[in-house]
Chains A and B, each alone.
Chain A
Amino acid sequence: MSSTVIGQDGQDGQNNQDNQNNQPGEGGQKPPTSAGWPLWEVFVRSSRGLSHVHAGSLHAPDAEMAVRNARDLYTRRNEGVSLWVVRSTDITTSDPDAKDMMFESPQGKDYRHATYYKESEGVKHL
């Protein structure tokens, strides 16, 4: 197992360098492109009364530019009435490997549904 880890380390070294191209502030050589620009997640509200829906992501130097870029990339055809941008690093996600624990099917757990309970006697209008 340890030999595998060493092998991966070697590869990871290269991968990390590639990743750094898109992850600023990690040190190392900075290429002239997106190196300095953090990633932002874009949420578009398509009309009043609906919630903001994740539309995609983009690179931008700051929040103000991220909103402008989001307008260009995700709302050019009259799609929305409101835009939110959030730095991708500010989003905490569920672990994809914890799928079983997080999102297990509710089948066989009838007690989670109110229909499982019997109607009490003498209670009308329930």
Chain B
Amino acid sequence: MSDQLLDHSLDSFGDAAASATRVTPGNALRPEDIVLQQTAPAGDAVARYALHLGDDALILAQRLSHWISRGPELEEDVALGNIALDQLGHARSFLSYAGKAWGQTEDDLAYFREEEEFTSLHLVEQPNGDFAETMVRGLFMALYQHQLYARLVHSADETIAAISAKALKEVDYHLEHAELWTLRLGRGTEESAHRMRAALGKLWPYIDELFQDEPLHDELEGIAVRPSTLRAEWDDRLRDILDRSALAVPEVPTALCRGRRGEHSEHLGYILAEMQVLARKHPGATW
């Protein structure tokens, strides 16, 4: 029944038969469905794990949405906006699910947590920089999320598996988008290759954190993926893409980041200030 109610949100697209491009609502899991589900996460650990995944997606979405209206081309503006929306959708699902364990909504978690309560990776909070930097960050994250969700599809937690199955298809596209641009910029002009090399060097220090195991993962055998187990394949696939793009893995030392434990770079505070100001000034506001 909830499905039928929700699908009315698509009414505004008009008579499907009259359109050359028919609209169907699809049947993917939505955050609203998760809220309506009877089951809450089995324990605090699962909720905290969902929070990790949700926070990564939320902060990346917030960063990417800054490109909207600033994209280098109209088409690219739309592409980046779509990727931001996809990430926001993943964040909403994971945060809705995590919140159920604690009696909180996705909005409570997104808008009313302090900086040190966010568990996102340092990589996603890095500034957009130029287009090359955004593409390199996008490539690193898409490769990572793609492998992660591909494994989480088999998670023993059904909701995590369902959210991941939906996210996987979208991240597949994000990965292709980042890969196509890496190829074109790497083998493009001298300037574009130079910028890609600079971007790789700038963002490489944040890579180790992606594959850092936390004590939380020990508690979630069969439910979570141990990040360290993703590293080898990630490296292989990245090297392959960079080879084909006439680029190379930079020889830059990596940094120890502890975003999962709430220790963030100076950037996150500014992101949260902008993201949370409206909800905090007008709590419960709707339109």
Instruction: Spell out A's residues near B (CB within 8 Å).
Output: 33-34, 37, 44, 46-47, 53-55, 58-61, 64-65, 68-69, 71-80
Contact = CB atoms under 8 A, between A and B. Distances in A.
Contacts of A44: 20-21
A47 B22 contact: yes
26 contacts: A34-B73, A44-B20, A44-B21, A46-B20, A46-B21, A47-B22, A53-B20, A53-B21, A55-B21, A58-B75, A60-B75, A64-B180, A65-B184, A68-B79, A68-B176, A69-B75, A69-B78, A72-B78, A74-B21, A75-B21, A76-B82, A77-B13, A78-B26, A79-B22, A79-B24, A80-B22
Nearest to B74: A59
Nearest to A76: B82
Contacts of A71: 173
B23 interface: yes
Interface of B: 10, 13, 19-26, 72-76, 78-79, 82, 173, 176-177, 180, 184
B21 A68 contact: no
A72 B82 contact: yes
Contact of B180 (A65, A74, A76, A77): A65
A59 B76 CA distance: 10
A87 B109 CA distance: 47
Contacts, number: 61
A34 B22 CA distance: 29
B74 A78 contact: no
Nearest first, the 10 A-B pairs at minimum CB distance are A79-B21, A53-B20, A69-B75, A46-B22, A78-B24, A77-B23, A72-B79, A78-B26, A72-B78, A72-B82
Contact of B73 (A53, A59, A75, A80): A59
A80 B24 CA distance: 10
B121 to A, nearest CB: 26
B138 to A, nearest CB: 14
A53 B19 CA distance: 10
Contacts of B24: 77-79
Contacts of B82: 72, 76
A53 B18 CA distance: 12
Nearest to B78: A72
Given A58-B74, A72-B82, A76-B82, 18 more contacts: A33-B72, A33-B73, A34-B73, A37-B73, A46-B20, A53-B20, A55-B20, A55-B21, A59-B73, A61-B184, A68-B79, A72-B75, A72-B79, A73-B78, A75-B21, A77-B23, A77-B24, A78-B25
Contacts of B177: 68
A77 to B, nearest CB: 5
Nearest to B176: A68
A54 B19 CA distance: 11
A44 B72 CA distance: 25
